Structure 1
Amino acid sequence: MTVRNADIFRTMEVWAPKYLAYDWDNVGLQIGSAQQSVNRVMIALDVLESTVDEAIENNVDLIIAHHPLLFKPLKQLDTDSPKGRVIRKLLAHDITVYAAHTNLDAANGGVNDMLCDLLSIDNREILVENYTEKLVKIAVFVPETHADNVREAMSQQGAGHIGDYSHCTFQSAGQGTFKPLEGTDPYIGSQGSLEFVDEVKLETIIPEKDLPSVVEAMIAAHPYEEAAYDLYPVENSGTSYGLGRMGTLNESLTLAELCERVKRTFDIPNVRVTGDLSAPVKKVAILGGSGEKYIQEAMKMGADAYITGDMTFHSAQDAQELDLSVIDPGHYAEKVMKDYTKAYLDEAFQTDGLQVMVSQANTNPFQTV
């Protein structure tokens, strides 16, 4: 099977839907064509010139990056400027760029969960919610003989998932009536005759985003020419998503020991830290990237320490005044997304011959001297 960029985009958006991104963000296709075929994909944190040179050297067709290449609107495209050179090289070598940024931060199993996995932070909650799914209830009327088939078809497309349970439905028995008119080809009965059929009313919940695929699957599995079904808006809240996580360490550590774990886990030489290094830490908030705006949220949720990048002087002082310890490993800690994204795509396209590599270019602008 020929894999196209669009196939990979759709797969990424099953994991990190674009609607999870903040409205100020720019995610998705950055440069290139969704219809271009692809053999080699490279996962990168940033798209700098060194990243593009690496992609060219390795005959890469698609770069999937965490940080968008095009974040602010371009007022001119000067190919002598650093960004202009990058764009020129990408176009000259038919390399497509796709970005999954705050949508991958907020996604279940996304960047913040990756950081928690590596640091052994469990019992997680969302630190800052930014999206809650809307739910729809569907009720479909189906002959008793086909209820199981219809239930299975809808469940396979995302209907009836509540918490850790799938195939959650309710069915009630009843009798349906219909009279096939001229031009029909009824599954049961004959034209001009009123039919009475033992049916069940099958009800379940669907995330609004899955509604089209669920209805399509239901109609395909339903035996009737015209399936009868109702859709209802509901006030129940679906799954929530958001930035950052709040959880507990698998063991109690001192702040100094947690700093060492962060350095070792993310392979960084140093961190910036505020607070008493001998203080015990059990509850930890973490937010990949720049999280200084969410000090209050970490404090309200009872964090002993807050791990985030790009902490500025006055924000660090504010945290200190609140008696909240802060560990700043820098923004580059988000590089953990590279290996996780490669593993995800390897599994999704394991039978298609797609080659996925991780960028080795060091895009961290800082060094310790």
Structure 2
Amino acid sequence: MPKLSDVIAALDGLWPADRAEQWDAVGLVCGDPDAEVGRVLFAVDPVREVAEEAIRIGADLLVTHHPLYLRGTTTVAATHFKGRVVHELIKHDIALHVAHTNADRADPGVSDALAAAVGLRVTGPLVPDPDDPAGRRGLGRVGELTVPLTLADFAARAARGLPRTATGLRVAGDPEREIRTVAVCGGSGDSLFDQVRAAGVDAYLTADLRHHPASEATQHGGPALIDAAHWATEWPWCEQAAAELDQISDRHGWSLRVHVSRQVTDPWTLHASVPPAPEVPPVPEPDSAPSSSSGAPN
């Protein structure tokens, strides 16, 4: 079996840490570089349920997209859930590695997996990485459909292609609008509206769209908007990343067993829509007015 340091070196080759945003926290969070790795679990969130899954399947390494400590910390005490996750992982000799914005910008990256999940052929990055002469890396992706669809039909395809969540998908735009080109961004994407408008696409699929940026985007006459759950737009990357590590394992003869967590760790658990109003029976027509003017009948 390979050492943890060998596997981390392979992951760093896929998602170099120096391509992460400056504010990000990526790389190895805990783990002994000399420990052997035989089983790896990929997930979006390093939460308690995922740590328990890693323990249950006997994983030696947990790779997540979201950092455990994005803003730093002064303690890993088990008095809060993040410290508890660290304690449980270390207690069971499970390493934790994070690939976040460095995986967003990669080729292939998070948005490539999202585009594939909703049936798009990628034509390039939405925000190209200036350090990539090939023009393939960067944030978001622009893609095209092989056959045009209405917005309603494309939204239905996206709903089928992404993992199901309580909130589902929200759509802004004419349901009959023809969709040929689509920009996608895994995770929060309303900071990229200027680039989306510049791309001239028919629709934009991302997550965490806020009211005012979405309203302004539609008022500018921009693309239709499809807002999915944050977790759902990034989960396809787990399968893509697992397949990449599988290929590396095969080349090196490591015989790693690579798994993808299918636990829904999106925080929203219920969508309470307004029930339809009960049907009100029609009011019967009043009887014909009496011919006498002597007043109301007794």
TM-score, length-scaled by structure 2 = 0.84
> Which residue of the partner structure matches residue 287 of structure 2?
none
Q: CA contact under 8 A between 1:62 and 1:95: conserved in structure 2?
A: yes
Deviations 1:128-180, CA, capped at 9 Å, x for gaps: 134414xxxxxxxxxxxxxxxxxxxxxxxxxxxxxxxxxxxxxxxxxxxxxxx
Matches within 5 A, 1:73-92: 73-92=72-91
Task: Decide which of 205, 223, 233 is 1:307's aligned counterpart.
Answer: 205
> Which residue of the partner structure matches residue 219 of structure 2?
321
Q: Which amino acid aligns with 2:206?
A: T
Task: Decide which of 150, 155, 160 is 1:259's aligned counterpart.
Answer: 155
Q: Kindly report the root-mean-square deviation, in angstroms, between the aligned alpha carbons of the 2 structures.
A: 1.6
> Which residue of the partner structure matches residue 294 of structure 2?
none
Measured after TM superposition, the shift of residue 238 of structure 1 is: 5.5
SS, match of residue 132 in structure 1: coil
Q: CA contact under 8 A between 1:20 and 1:241: conserved in structure 2?
A: no
Structure 1 vs Structure 2: percent identity of aligned residues?
33
Measured after TM superposition, the shift of residue 317 of structure 1 is: 0.5
Moved >6 Å (runs of 4+):
none
SS, match of residue 340 in structure 1: helix
Deviations 1:262-302, CA, capped at 9 Å, x for gaps: 10000326201111111111111100000000011101110
Q: CA contact under 8 A between 1:20 and 1:131: conserved in structure 2?
A: no
Asked if 1:102 is matched to 2:101, the reply is yes
> Which residue of the partner structure matches residue 168 of structure 1?
none
SS, match of residue 25 in structure 2: coil
Q: Which amino acid aligns with 1:59?
A: G
> Which residue of the partner structure matches residue 291 of structure 2?
none
> Which residue of the partner structure matches residue 279 of structure 1?
177
Asked if 1:337 is matched to 2:230, the reply is no
Deviations 1:232-258, CA, capped at 9 Å, x for gaps: xxxxx4555211011211111111111
Distance 2:131 2:136 in 1: 4
Distance 2:31 2:8 in 1: 12
TM-score, length-scaled by structure 1 = 0.69
Runs of 5+ unmatched residues, structure 1: 134-236
Measured after TM superposition, the shift of residue 33 of structure 1 is: 2.2
Runs of 5+ unmatched residues, structure 2: 273-298
SS, match of residue 137 in structure 2: strand
SS, match of residue 335 in structure 1: helix
Measured after TM superposition, the shift of residue 78 of structure 1 is: 3.2
Change in CA separation of 1:123 and 1:66 when aligned onto 2, cut-off 3 Å: closer
Change in CA separation of 1:91 and 1:267 when aligned onto 2, cut-off 3 Å: closer
Distance 2:134 2:124 in 1: 15
Q: CA contact under 8 A between 2:118 and 2:161: conserved in structure 1?
A: yes
Q: CA contact under 8 A between 1:132 and 1:240: conserved in structure 2?
A: no
Distance 1:13 1:251 in 2: 37
Q: Which amino acid aligns with 2:50?
A: T
Task: Decide which of 253, 259, 263 is 1:361's aligned counterpart.
Answer: 263
Matches within 5 A, 1:286-301: 286-301=184-199
Distance 1:358 1:49 in 2: 16
Q: Which amino acid aligns with 1:289?
A: G
Q: CA contact under 8 A between 2:129 and 2:135: conserved in structure 1?
A: no
Measured after TM superposition, the shift of residue 119 of structure 1 is: 2.1
Change in CA separation of 1:360 and 1:118 when aligned onto 2, cut-off 3 Å: closer
Task: Decide which of 114, 119, 141 is 1:245's aligned counterpart.
Answer: 141
Higher strand share: 1
Q: Which amino acid aligns with 1:352?
A: W
SS, match of residue 349 in structure 1: helix
Distance 1:355 1:89 in 2: 21
Measured after TM superposition, the shift of residue 311 of structure 1 is: 0.4
> Which residue of the partner structure matches residue 67 of structure 2?
68
> Which residue of the partner structure matches residue 223 of structure 1?
none
Change in CA separation of 1:346 and 1:240 when aligned onto 2, cut-off 3 Å: closer
Measured after TM superposition, the shift of residue 353 of structure 1 is: 2.1
Q: CA contact under 8 A between 2:38 and 2:256: conserved in structure 1?
A: yes
